[in-house]
Amino acid sequence: MKTVLIATKNKGKAKEFESLFASKGYEVLTLLDIPNAPDVEETGSSFEENAVIKAEAIARQAGHFVVADDSGLIVDALDGRPGIFSARYAGEDKNDQANLEKVLEELRGVPEGERTARFYCSLALASPNQETITVAGSVEGLIINEPRGDSGFGYDPIFFVKDLGKTMAELSSQEKNKISHRAHALKELESLLDSFLERERLS
């Protein structure tokens, strides 16, 4: 089976990639499968820059192609925060619950109509043999007042998808993989993937 290395140690994120890549015949490996995988410092000022930094650093070490994502929550009433700091919004220990509670606290008293937000995902596909490509995807929603649902991870329990009448955490993995920001980004990546892999084969 063909393999793709996803530059993450986040098991929840890896599951989304597994579901989405399985249909293309790929086995997903993550940094949890790589001994002594580097912890790449994300020094970029945008999702795209951070995804490229991660993908290129891991690709150099792994010696083959890598998909890295940088994704997060953009809340309009918070001037775009938590943005690129989504995973560490409440501190360096990457505590999902603390991050979620900090966003809710900062939005206390903000009316529903002004709680618009989006999940944004940038994907970078890098190889030691060719130029890195990037794609992006997003999904629009509202931040509700309290968590709902037991699925997903991160900010999913407070991100309400109006068209579906559910939070991200109330969706099945199949439902989420149809509409998520990562799903949209992966659809964009899929259109470029065959030519990338062909160049990889010929390099």
Considering only residues 191 and 124, tell me which one the structure prediction assigns the higher pLDDT.
124
Considering only residues 84 and 190, tell me which one the structure prediction assigns the higher pLDDT.
84
- Give mean pLDDT, residues 42-69: 91
Instruction: Tell me the C-alpha distance between 19 and 131, whole Å.
Output: 26
Radius of gyration from C-alpha coordinates of the chain: 17
Q: What is the pLDDT of residue 65?
A: 83
Confidence (pTM): 0.88
Helices of type H across the chain: 11-22, 47-62, 96-106, 173-179, 181-202
N- to C-terminal Cα separation, the chain: 20
DSSP states of 50-75: HHHHHHHHHHHHHSS-EEEEEEEEEE
CATH number at residue 33: 3.90.950.10
- Give mean pLDDT, residues 10-34: 81
For residue 14, name the pLDDT band (cuts at 50, 70, 90): confident
Residue numbers belonging to the annotated binding site for substrate: 8-13, 71, 153-156, 176, 181-182
Residue numbers belonging to the annotated binding site: 8-13, 41, 70-71, 153-156, 176, 181-182
Range of the domain at 142: 2-202
Q: What is the pLDDT of residue 1?
A: 57
Highest mean pLDDT among 26-35, 61-70, 129-138: 129-138
Q: What is the pLDDT of residue 12?
A: 76
The total number of structural domains that make up the chain: 1
- Give mean pLDDT, residues 188-196: 84
For residue 34, name the pLDDT band (cuts at 50, 70, 90): confident
- Residue 90 has φ and ψ, to the nearest 5°, of -100, 5
Q: What is the pLDDT of residue 191?
A: 83
Largest CA distance in the chain: 58
Q: Is 76 a known active-site residue? A: no
Instruction: Tell me the C-alpha distance between 162 and 66, whole Å.
Output: 34
Annotated catalytic residue within 69, 70, 163, 194: 70
For residue 190, name the pLDDT band (cuts at 50, 70, 90): confident
Q: Quick one: 131 exposed, middle or buried, by C-beta within 10 A (0-12, 13-18, 19+)?
A: exposed
To the nearest 10 degrees (0 to 180), the angle between helices 11-22 and 181-202 is 60
Residue 80 near residue 74, CB atoms below 8 Å: yes
The string of pLDDT tens digits covering residues 126-180 is 988 899 999 999 999 999 999 999 988 899 999 999 999 999 999 998 898 889 9
Instruction: Tell me the C-alpha distance between 190 and 137, whole Å.
Output: 12
The string of pLDDT tens digits covering residues 76-128 is 999 999 999 999 999 988 899 999 999 999 999 999 999 999 999 999 999 88
Q: What is the pLDDT of residue 80?
A: 97
Residue numbers belonging to the annotated binding site for Mg(2+): 41, 70
Helices (H) and strands (E) in the chain — how many of each?
5, 7
CB-CB neighbours of 113 under 10 Å: 7
